[in-house]
Structure 1
């Protein structure tokens, strides 16, 4: 009889049972019996499926007087008391405590006077049910919120809105080969290639031979509506609508080097200035205006100091990896933080790209990949401790966070100005840019600053003005937008020592951050004792940036805010050919009464009076109230 192996249920399995006298006797048993025994054992040893614990932020609210309701489990209330109470509760795991270390308690908050930290949050793991119980127990005196994951407002191709089940189980399939080469015909590896249209989109990455293998469902390439080729570095992207593709032979796309573009000729061997910096008239600012003495923080994915434009950066903090090694902030696996840092402060005067503030002191707080709200709170605490002047936030979250808003306000009280990207979802402004205590930046592009066959052309909106400025299709919009800045085809530094042209409000915000650093370093009023580090100093900085802006595109303020900031006007420098009456006046901010007579609404747009007044509220007087001045109701 042939020997059987274990098979499907019901299949016989030959086993050997020892007999009492020690002789082996063979018997046959159904395999299902053995499976049942093994399954029962696995169940007995297994763990019931239940809700997993998630990270939550827990903190005392600002205005409190004592214990939580009738339970009195924390009295007097303070951050350390909250931490101790959480340690004592079952099924809650405290993983971190982010305490403030310099006072600045919100008004009415008393534990600081008792020797406890003035503010902060406890990060703990618990189930949603336990969090709900904790919130109820707090009786409104305890903040309990989910520690949300943050996202880089990156320039990547938008992901699909949903996942469907349309992938065929069978049927005709075909392979399409697409070879990507450079100008010299050499193959380009690691290039992302995507096809749109057809039964399903298809993506692949080129190998060392420069060839991407893409699978098509169906055998007809004529259904493809778009071909997107995105190089990793040093080349322009390529986009072809309704491409003529062959299934019988390799299809070839040749990419153009960035340095072939007239405005970037000779880059990086010769230093170049990006179109965005030129649009903001940085090229007309005297060379000695370089941001010395100002501290900037880039809270992002790190910054590659291997790059020739970034090797002057020496300070940072790896927030995500702080329990293991805080010093790995200079490892940037995504390139996003390096790109932002280059726009702000690329430093080599003879090589690469010129940043806005090359002599500013840049600090890098690494938050990605994997950053959450709790870690952004920690990064902002670092900024407060280090006396950072301006923070660049090219990131966003799913919804507003009370815990993060408290920290943003605290940073503002300490004189830290936060400048945030509005978002790339072509919808309402994302948080934290939607906070009234930050400066929100939308993205614009300019026709003629990128090849027409690049994917940058897909960001065009039909609202371009006579200068070619247009609002980027992807940019978020709403009354929270303060200003706009270049965010299409922005060339900057990426690891290890290369350059890339990217899109996104992530690229727009650093333009404004860099200009803000120049204003703080070189505008006289910020050097005097009349503007010490304070929330008024932050608001004054924001007001200078807003009032320096000029309207661009044909769009409304919900998409561009006050417009594109002008470096000459913001720095109070002479303007050679003022295009409008407001521009010449704003350069010195000595605006006399009646200056805007005959220009209805412009005075209100510049924050000088109630909407529709057309002029200042008082002759020669400018008001800078504590609170965000945002264009609304126009």
Structure 2
């Protein structure tokens, strides 16, 4: 038999054979990363269906030759074990296995295990949206339009490192200016008359620039003048003069007496890190944890390569140091959990475990995933029972609220903007929607919306800190959520309820905080209520320093020891959202002898009766009822439908 005809060898006349002979290899799917955890349903115990020992599962998985256990997540100290009041020690295994093995494990566990993909997460800072009529078609030939863009400041000095995008009728061209402030962009199949937009975004310290239907020259450099942030009247002499952002003023932080600074409250920013070593507004931040590099370099949380976490931290707790931007709660104790770039659900679960261990009070989550995660939902609920309030950005797709903002156990925040708070020739002008009120507030075009939105907050043209010691103006629900997180820190520190009846950590404390923030919000009429929720939170109302007009005693606390009544809302997480992964179509395949033997023979779960849910946390009962109404756990697990 000829060599190229041997089994496993590629014939030389087949495509790719030459490359393979040079040491290249074919692209194949890698093993997927999955989360494996016990399904924590108290209703199972009510029906006499006790979960099996998770230790048996872990031993079986570790013994399986084609399954790799990458990490084990769970409480590390007694504080974590007893923080939620249940004395449980939930464990999540991070594994690598094929889709077939994951499906088989899910089937054999018959509803007692969560087996789900370890999804990648994304941040909710807005990427600029080009003209709507631009298509993704790549031309196969034709003329090439090349042009030079030169970006300068008012002193005619070049601006290096600015992102420049040119939009035609087909694919856009993008680049970054060099030390001379120049970038050459090439578009295929375009002419100067078909160019529809030019967008320039300096890295920091300048306003962005957007020109619709620009007059572009192909023979001479096209000069774009960008203005420093201080050229805007509201930011005159900035950053040498300390300012409050327009969003903070819209929430009346500027009218709050100076002694209210969030003392004694711990706030976690789970994001991309924070430039605490270099930025004057963030140097008071002393605590953090790099989740991505926890085994080798857990202290590198100060290295924020994408600036997003620094920007969020500045809104929440920028120092009151006479310069830059002051945050809502400059005296709060900030904990930075670095999760980006590359964060996944497993690492977010680990970051929330850190928050539980450190007894954090409020967590800012300016992030989201493609699909809901039951493993993450269990950890969010556990954090809530430990007294941790999660404030979550709704998302920037302009559609339905994304997870985890869609969870019933968090406070979801949509984004608004205001006319007159940014230059008309900046990229921020492209975020204006048709929903504008008499005061100039508008629903941000990009903001996700729906019944899950609790409140709205400023998320357009938000000025805050970025590495090294600079400032940038960004858009996104990522920027809106920190406004509410900072306010939550002030409420916990200074509202009398949290010095008395709700001082003790627990889910009721979190629900009372959410109730106060929603009740202290001023209604905005921007289309439907799903775009604004209860409205824009007011700092003075939320701290009980002024009574909202027309609400009277709405902010009054229930009697000492009384249980907060959680209103019944429409289901926020459906069974399809919580379990479905429609991109999958795994094939049935047995796990193999050892693992199958360990888990085989488990009884069917059957349906969980609704009366069994009566003693559960109300929001979690709602979550479970929604699942049970649409899926029979154990008989037809929806994860792999």
1:198 aligns with 2:169: yes
Q: Name 2:113's counterpart in structure 1.
A: 142
- Structure 2 partner of 1:99: 74
**1:588-616 superposed Cα distances (whole Å, 9 cap, x missing partner):** 6799xxxxxxxxxxxxxx999999xxxxx
Q: Does 1:416 align with 2:391?
A: no
Match of 2:34 in 1: 56
- Residues 52-71 of structure 1 deviation map (CA, whole Å, 9 limit, x = unaligned): 211100012224999xxxxx
Q: How do 1:94-493 and structure 2 match up within 5 A? A: 94-101=69-76, 102-104=80-82, 118-158=89-129, 166-218=137-189, 220-305=191-276, 306-493=278-465
Secondary structure class of the residue paired with 1:103: helix
Instruction: Tell me: CA distance 1:42–1:175, structure 2 relative to 1, closer, same or farther (3 Å).
Output: closer
The answer to whether the Cα contact below 8 Å between 1:175 and 1:213 also exists between their aligned partners in 2 is yes
Worse-matched range after superposition: 544-553 or 406-415: 544-553
**Distance in 2 between residues matched to 1:307 and 1:388, nearest whole Å:** 23
CA separation in 1, counterparts of 2:187 and 2:430?
24
Q: Is the 8 A contact 1:568 1:587 kept in 2?
A: no
Residues 118-140 of structure 1: per-residue CA shift (max 9 Å, x gap): 21201010010110111111111
- Tell me how far 1:172 sits from its aligned partner: 1.6
3-state SS, counterpart of residue 167 of structure 2 = strand
Q: Structure 2-normalised TM-score?
A: 0.80
* Deviation per residue, 1:392-427 (Å, 9 max, x gap): 000000100000000000000000000000000000
Query: For the residues of structure 2 that align with 1:252 and 1:435, how far apart are their CA atoms?
Result: 47
Structure 1's 48 and 450: CA in aligned 2 closer, same or farther, altered over 3 A?
closer
Give 1:526-537 correspondences, 5 Å limit.
Answer: 526-528=498-500, 530-537=502-509
| Whole-angstrom CA distance in 1 between matches of 2:348 and 2:261 | 28
Whether the aligned pair in 2 keeps the contact of 1:443 and 1:471 (CA below 8 Å) is yes
Question: Once the 2 structures are TM-superposed, how far is the Cα of residue 461 of structure 1 from its aligned partner?
Answer: 1.2
Q: 1:94 to 1:34 in 2, by over 3 A?
A: closer
CA contact (8 A) 2:134 2:169 kept: no
The answer to whether the 8 Å contact 1:445/1:471 transfers is yes
Residue segments in structure 2 that go unaligned for 5+ positions in a row: 1-9, 45-49, 560-564, 571-616, 623-641
Cα distance between partner residues in 2 of 1:547 and 1:454: 35
Mark the runs of 5 or more structure 1 residues left unpaired by the alignment: 1-31, 67-74, 592-605, 612-624
Note the C-alpha offset of 1:78. 3.4
Question: Once superposed, what is the RMSD of the aligned Cα atoms?
Answer: 3.3
Deviation at 1:104, TM superposition (A): 4.8
Larger radius of gyration: 1
Q: Is the 8 A contact 1:104 1:413 kept in 2?
A: no
| The 10-residue stretch of structure 1 (523-532 or 462-471) with the greater mean CA deviation from structure 2 | 523-532
In the TM superposition, residue 157 of structure 1 has moved relative to its aligned partner by: 1.9
Bigger shift: residues 265-274 or 46-55: 46-55
What is the CA distance between 1:196 and its match in structure 2? 1.4
Output the TM-score relative to the length of structure 1.
Answer: 0.81
Q: CA deviation at 1:85?
A: 1.6
Aligned residues: 553
Corresponding residue for 1:78? 53
SS in 2 for 1:379: helix
Q: Report how far residue 554 of structure 1 moved.
A: 2.9
Q: Counterparts of 1:239 and 1:222 in 2: how far apart (Å)?
A: 17
| Equivalent in the alignment of 1:572 | 544
Shift of 1:379: 0.2
Residues 500-521 of structure 1 deviation map (CA, whole Å, 9 limit, x = unaligned): 0000000000000000000000
CA distance in 1, matches of 2:93, 2:133: 35
8 Å Cα contact 1:346-1:356 kept in structure 2: yes
1:222 aligned counterpart, secondary structure: helix
Verify the 8 A CA contact 2:130 2:197 in the aligned structure 1: no
SS of the residue corresponding to residue 270 of structure 2 reads strand
Q: Deviations over 1:253-276 (max 9, x none)?
A: 101111111111111111010000
Partners of 1:539 and 1:626 within 8 A in 2? no
